[in-house]
Copies of this chain bind each other. A is one copy, B any other.
């Protein structure tokens, strides 16, 4: 690693219902040990830790999650936790982080609710992206697209830029299945996983050019903010004035200086129980039992029990989750509908 300072900017927003009943408003997905012993937040921090040459992290989150972050930020020295007074989407969240960092540093923006199996591949891509960012590019990590997913945005690859990167020809919002298939067939598209490398000064200039209201609100909120230890509280009224727009729309689509670094790193957004099942360890029959579980004649069955003994006979491609007073039993195909259950809505 060269002498570039790369600050991980960890975004901990939202609270989905797609992994209900394990994930709930009070214990959202980043803070759960969904894959092994570490939570997704802990794993995100560990991928970008000091030992690997990264600077101390900047965590941007809401007040509801601060207690989880304090409990799981195991190396707080030098870290900053920016507590958003309200949720104003990713452009404003990243602006807060940029305004709290040196202008000549590079930010590596990472969602905290994704899984990356291959840490070494992630770090190689992150360093390559940071190098391009230091040269003035706004860089996306382009996730190797494995299948024609319609739930992700895509990045189209353009001309090469440096040894590992490419211009980003364009951002494509979630496509329909036919277009997604065309993207996969062409080989020129990667998934947009929301991982970015930006020079701090570059990002602020591009934000000023393309979304000045967001920058102005973030700047005013930081000016009106106060710190408490490693926590920083931006001004609430000032931040509320920021338009709620994703960084993709606000900066990445309009900018002329976008690039991408492709990465094949075992990425998953763990966006549903079947996606989680694909990411966790399985036995020879494809089963993933966790807790007191007895499986008979089962294939590709995930069971995750927080206590009760679960006995399963003769099922395939099924997910069973026990959490407190809730029991979820879903086919893999049905897992996409978990967020629409009444149970998930009335948690």
- Identify the A interface with B (CB < 8 A): 21, 294, 296-297, 305, 307-315, 318, 320, 322, 325-331, 333-335, 337-338, 340-344
Q: Are A325 and B308 in contact (CB under 8 A)?
A: yes
Give Cα A338–Cα B294 distance, bound, in whole angstroms. 11
Q: A294-B342, A296-B341, A343-B309 are in contact. Are A315 and B327 (CB under 8 A)?
A: no
Please give me the residue from chain B that is nearest to A317 by CB atom: B314
Not counting A311-B344, A315-B331, a sample of 16 additional A-B residue pairs whose C-beta atoms are within 8 angstroms of each other reads A21-B311, A294-B342, A296-B334, A308-B325, A311-B327, A311-B330, A311-B343, A312-B329, A313-B331, A313-B335, A313-B341, A315-B330, A315-B334, A320-B327, A322-B327, A327-B327
**A342 contact set on B, CB distance < 8 A:** 294, 311
Q: Which of B305, B313, B320 is within 8 Å of A337, CB to CB?
A: B313
Give Cα A309–Cα B347 distance, bound, in whole angstroms. 11
**A335 contact set on B, CB distance < 8 A:** 313
Please give me the residue from chain B that is nearest to A326 by CB atom: B309
Give Cα A313–Cα B317 distance, bound, in whole angstroms. 12
**A315 contact set on B, CB distance < 8 A:** 318, 329-331, 334
Least Cβ–Cβ distance between A275 and chain B, in angstroms = 15
Q: Are A338 and B325 in contact (CB under 8 A)?
A: no
Give Cα A338–Cα B313 distance, bound, in whole angstroms. 8
Give Cα A294–Cα B337 distance, bound, in whole angstroms. 12
**A310 contact set on B, CB distance < 8 A:** 327, 329
Give Cα A329–Cα B329 distance, bound, in whole angstroms. 8
**A341 contact set on B, CB distance < 8 A:** 294, 296, 311, 313
Please give me the residue from chain B that is nearest to A298 by CB atom: B334
**A320 contact set on B, CB distance < 8 A:** 327, 329
Give Cα A170–Cα B170 distance, bound, in whole angstroms. 82
Q: Which of B305, B318, B327, B333 is within 8 Å of A309, CB to CB?
A: B327
Please give me the residue from chain B that is nearest to A312 by CB atom: B329
Give Cα A341–Cα B329 distance, bound, in whole angstroms. 20
Give Cα A330–Cα B340 distance, bound, in whole angstroms. 25
Q: Are B326 and A308 in contact (CB under 8 A)?
A: yes
Least Cβ–Cβ distance between A175 and chain B, in angstroms = 25
**A333 contact set on B, CB distance < 8 A:** 314
